[in-house]
Amino acid sequence: MFEGLKKRFSGFIGSLSNKEADKTSAIDDKGHEEKNANAVSNAAEKTALAIDAPVEAQGAIPAAKNGDMPAGNLSAEENEPKHELPDAALHKNPRISASTKIKGFVFGKVKISQKDADPFIDELRIGLLQSDVNYDVADRLTEGIRQSLVGREVRLKDIEADIRQSIRSSIYGILAKESAIDIAGLVEQKRMQGQLPVKILFIGPNGAGKTTTMAKVAKMLISSGITCMLSASDTFRAAAIEQTVHHANALGIEVVKGTYGADPASVAFDAIAHAKARGISVVLIDSAGRQETNKSLVEELKKICRVTNPDLKIFVGEGISGNALLDQVRDIDASIKIDGIILTKIDVDAKGGNTISILSETSIPILFFCTGEKYTDIMRYNPDFVIDNILPAS
Ligand SMILES: Nc1nc2c(ncn2[C@@H]2O[C@H](COP(=O)(O)OP(=O)(O)OP(=O)(O)O)[C@@H](O)[C@H]2O)c(=O)[nH]1
Ligand SMILES: [Mg+2]
């Protein structure tokens, strides 16, 4: 899950850790320095020409893997970082020579300079764009990461953990939005006000997973003891009504349907009346897939909203749809205000960048992730889950 971003961030951290371990200039542990200066100078002289040479030229230092470098152990082989660099672009960065590494271990601390960070920040920006992060967001995020890293003094043995933590904080600032919607709480509130049923409209592009997601939300409500029913208001796509009826039957709940070509708003209106009459707490309203470019479908959507006045308008989008997703969200939001987003197909190679883009560029909360085709393949959005998947703490 979110493999794209995970790969980018760990590649970046591994590369920068290596680069910083390669430094010999910014050492602040003076006492330590004097004490060990003689021991180091010989090794440094021997390797001065080799520091920035490609790994082949340095002779038999294997490619870096996993950035943990145990302090105090000066064996070049054993101290070799162990992360895997994902890209050819990252592989071209200089590797650490054995003696330089010894120097770093002796002096203990390094300071990350702008010159050192810049090439890696640029690589990271490209990696983010390739992982579906929007251009402006990638720019802002990498700038924030640059500012938090440059000038930072870190103990060499902690360098990977330190950089990792710094980047985690930058991303977490975007991911941790306090705006989740509590559907059960909304039902309770409406019950107290005598305004049931709660009406939830599902909208989004064709094939994004609206109908399936609606059924998953129904299943969640049923499991929480909340009564619900479906409105088969996609009267546009062939077999859409049968699909909704199938879900209703499988879940053991009621469904109101019309005929193909019927006004979807009137089907939803009938479903709401039915729910009121039967004391059903929530009506889940399906809708036809629509692109922002399809004017008549967008007008139809506005009409459904006028007629039914939904409590929640939930945009269902594919977590795999790349940068286009943010534009879809913005366009639909401009037509009818979206209250929340559900991202589907996270199980199918979702790179994860569009989650960051949406949360950074809009004020709309992501409510759930859908992770498969079963009714139970839905999980509440959780920033810890996202950050731990794209950049594990260790
Ligand atoms: N792997 C995976 N498949 C999903 C997920 N959600 C939905 N699907 C599948 O995506 C396909 C389309 O789902 P639908 O629910 O019909 O999508 P829709 O948005 O209602 O489609 P239209 O009504 O045609 O606009 C179906 O095959 C679903 O089983 C998910 O989270 N993961
Ligand atoms: Mg559908």
Q: Where are the domains of the chain?
A: 3-175, 183-381
Residues 6+ apart with CB under 8 A from 80: 61, 62, 64, 65
Of ligand 1's listed atoms, the one at least distance from the Cα of 289 is 25
Ligand nearest to the CA of 238: 1
| Nearest ligand (C-alpha, residue 210) | 1
Q: What is the mean pLDDT of residues 304-331?
A: 93
pLDDT at 141 over 50: yes
Two tokens, residue 246: 């199938």
Each residue of 320-342: pLDDT tens digit? 888 889 998 998 999 899 999 99
84: pLDDT confidence band, cut at 50, 70 and 90?
very low
Where do the DSSP E strands lie in 97-212? 109-111, 153-155, 198-203
**Alpha-carbon distance 275 to 337, whole Å?**
24
314 lines ligand 1 (CB under 6 A): no
pLDDT at 299 over 90: no
In whole angstroms, what separates CA 20 from the centre of its chain? 28
From the CB of 348, is ligand 1 less than 6 Å away?
yes
Could you tell me which residue, 85 or 211, shows the higher pLDDT?
211
Number of residues in the chain:
394
Candidates 319, 117, 299; CA nearest to 213 is 319
Nearest to 163 by CA among 105, 88, 112, 118: 112
Tell me the pTM. 0.78
pLDDT, mean of residues 51-76:
30
pLDDT of 73 higher than 80: no
CB distance 239 to ligand 1 below 6 Å: no
Mean pLDDT of 92-96: 32
Nearest atom within ligand 1 for CA of residue 234: 23
The pairing of beta strand 228-232 with beta strand 109-111? unpaired
Is it the case that residue 102 has pLDDT exceeding 50?
A: no
Q: How remote is the CA of residue 297 from the centroid of ligand 2, in Å? A: 14
Ligand 1 lined by 318 (C-beta under 6 Å): no
Q: Is 240 in the pocket of ligand 1 (CB under 6 A)?
A: yes
Element (H, E) at 252: none
Helix (H, G, I), strand (E, B) or coil at 37: helix
Q: Whose CA is nearest to atom 7 of ligand 1?
A: 209
19 vs 94: CA distance, rounded Å: 7
* Residue 350: per-residue pLDDT: 76
> What is the per-residue pLDDT for 106?
52
pLDDT of residue 32 exceeding 60: no
Is the C-beta atom of 372 inside 6 A of ligand 1? yes
- Answer yes or no: is pLDDT of 97 > 50: no
**Cβ of 209 below 6 Å from ligand 1:** yes
pLDDT value at residue 292: 58
pLDDT (0 to 100) of residue 173: 87
| pLDDT band with cut points at 50, 70 and 90 for residue 33 | very low
In short, whether 310's Cβ falls inside 6 Å of ligand 1 is no
Determine the 3-state secondary structure of 234 from DSSP. coil
pLDDT surpassing 90 at residue 101: no
pLDDT band at 18 (very low <50, low <70, confident <90, very high): low
pLDDT of 180: 75
Atom of ligand 1 nearest to the CA of 378: 31
Binding site membership of 11 for ligand 1 (Cβ less than 6 Å): no
Query: How many angstroms separate the most distant Cα atoms in the chain?
Result: 89
pLDDT of residue 183: 93
CA–CA dist 174, 95 (Å, integer)? 33
- Residue 22 scores a pLDDT above 80: no
List the Cα angle 255/225/289 in 5-degree steps.
40
Helix (H) or strand (E) holding 131: none
Query: How many angstroms separate the alpha carbon of residue 221 from the centre of ligand 2?
Result: 19
Dist. CA 358–CA 175, nearest whole Å: 10
Which residue minimizes the CA distance to atom 14 of ligand 1?
A: 209
Q: How far apart are CA 36 and CA 31, in angstroms?
A: 9
- Which two structure tokens, joined as six digits, stand for 153? 């003094």
CA of 205 to the centre of ligand 1 (A): 11
Topology of domain 183-381 in CATH is: Rossmann fold (3.40.50)
Q: Is the pLDDT of residue 319 over 80?
A: yes
∠ Cα 23 5 138 (to 5°)? 80
Residue found under tokens 């994902």: 86
> Per mean pLDDT, which range of 58-62, 208-212, 363-367 is the poorest?
58-62
Higher pLDDT, 386 or 16: 386
pLDDT band, residue 16 (cuts 50/70/90): low
Task: Give every CB contact of residue 118 below 8 A, 6+ residues apart in sequence.
Answer: 146
371 lines ligand 1 (CB under 6 A): yes
- What six digits make up the tokens of 323? 């940068």
Mean pLDDT of 94-120: 60
CATH classification of 3-175 is 1.10.3210.10, yes or no?
no
Q: Which of 34-48, 121-135, 148-162, 310-324 has the highest mean pLDDT?
A: 310-324
72 has a pLDDT exceeding 50: no
Residue 309 pLDDT grade (very low, low, confident, very high; cuts 50, 70, 90): very high
- Candidates 201, 202, 212: which one to mutate for ligand 1, based on the most atoms within 8 Å of Cβ? 212
Most confident of 2-11, 234-243, 296-305: 234-243
Give distance in angstroms: CA of 217 to centre of ligand 1.
14
Residues 6+ apart with CB under 8 A from 143: none
The secondary structure of 285-341 as a DSSP string is E------TT-HHHHHHHHHHHHHH--SEEEEEEETTSTTHHHHHHHHHHHHS---EE
Range 300-322 average pLDDT: 94
Q: Which has the higher per-residue pLDDT, 109 or 71?
A: 109
Q: How far is CA 348 from the centre of its chain?
A: 14
Average pLDDT value over all residues in the chain: 77
Q: Is the CB of 142 under 6 A from ligand 1?
A: no
pLDDT tens per residue, range 188-241: 999 999 999 999 999 999 999 999 999 999 999 999 999 999 999 999 889 999
Residue to mutate (ligand 1; options 373, 377, 379; most atoms within 8 A of CB): 373
